[in-house]
Structure 1
């Protein structure tokens, strides 16, 4: 029932919803549960790409047993202080994980591949702004191959770059403070290329023909959008007192 513990049937419906590509909010509404409950359940049990209903049910039962055992043996003991999250700033790691999952889900709905979105979300919530492949494998519970493919996509979108750590003989994947600025400039460049191609198509088809007119309109629109993007991001940098690179 709403507000109570998730049942095995609830977990099967969550797994089915993920397989069908539903968002966390849509799954939660189908169960009559808060979105935060579904988000926390998925984050604790393998994330959106690794969630399995039976495994999640068994894990919950094990946690419940351990909790009862720990409570019985420490009743007279003083409560332990909460361990601060990374960086020692007292963050709630569950809340941070939920936020990263929500960010990834939004990026997925915007058209980004799910694994790339999860990697980007994970990088965004780290203070260092960088993680190794091993870090991402451990945090996301996925294979190194899945991380490598996601990084390849993000590099192509100018959202992530690689840094070689020669001392440890491994690579780090880095997200810069200017990541969205650089990504928008890359988008403007792609628009310019596409505008040039559609302009060529308009000339080839003939601007007086319906097909040529459509191409001509598309070219004008893409050029306009590209100019607006470049102007906006440069103005944003100037307002913040930073010169764009």
Structure 2
């Protein structure tokens, strides 16, 4: 059934599909499952090159036992029952989301902290709350927050009493993160452009650096234009909605 958990036979068919070079969508259709289910399954169990059906089955059983032993330590624990949500389902989603982020290159603890903030309605947690929800040390949370703040993915703010620091994820977090990425591209492009001049634009090494600089400059400019275009579209949509809702 599409809504049921993957079985060991499902996992063997996923592994066989990957070996045969099938895409995630093709594998999902053969299993009569959503593509997102297959994508999460592969991402959290070694990726397309490292996926092994037996290992994935054992890992799933281990995660299931840990969830039963300590459900309050899963991301989203303690708040996910609001709005009629299933806490176990929210915890499972958060775990899968974190695994996907790990496979995009984020350190595991960074991915877990970011996901924990994402699935919290307030989008704001203290270090103590993150420690409790994730079941990790304060030092691990502090290091992850430092990384996320440096990438413009979270911001710090003080509680009303000024005694505790809260970590906040805003609705426009990806806008700011993309703009920060564009700025880093520009810095690297400027540096590599200088290297191309130093080595000589006509030399192989100089040409290589010059090509890298041009690519980074173009990519950074495209990111900025895309963010600005999206913001303009959203502003226009909000303005149109406000106009429609205004009294005649």
When normalised by structure 2's length, the TM-score is: 0.68
| 1:159 aligned counterpart, secondary structure | coil
- Look up the match of 2:186: 192
| Cα distance in 2 between the residues matched to 1:32 and 1:170 | 40
**Counterpart in the other structure of 2:218:** 224
CA distance in 1, matches of 2:52, 2:90: 20
Deviations 1:70-107 (A, max 9, x none): xxxxxxxxxxxxxx964730011111111111111111
CA contact (8 A) 1:162 1:172 kept: yes
Where do 5+ consecutive residues of structure 1 fail to align? 4-21, 51-83
Q: 1:29 aligns with which of 53, 65, 79?
A: 53
Structure 2, gaps ≥5 residues long: 1-6, 9-41, 238-248
The answer to whether structure 1 residue 238 and structure 2 residue 232 are counterparts is yes
Aligned length: 189
Q: Distance in 2 between matches of 1:46 and 1:195?
A: 48
Q: Distance in 1 between matches of 2:217 and 2:62?
A: 43
* C-alpha distance in 1 between matches for 2:229 and 2:164: 37
- Name 1:143's counterpart in structure 2: 137
RMSD of Structure 2 on Structure 1 (CA): 2.9
Residues 44 and 100, structure 2, Cα contact 8 Å, conserved in 1: no
**Larger radius of gyration between Structure 1 and Structure 2:** 1
**Alpha-carbon deviation of 1:33?**
3.5
Tell me how far 1:29 sits from its aligned partner: 2.0
Is this contact kept in 2: 1:28–1:38, CA < 8 A? no
Spell out, residue by residue over 1:21-47, the C-alpha distance to the aligned partner (whole angstroms, 9 max, x if none). x95334772247498666544545579
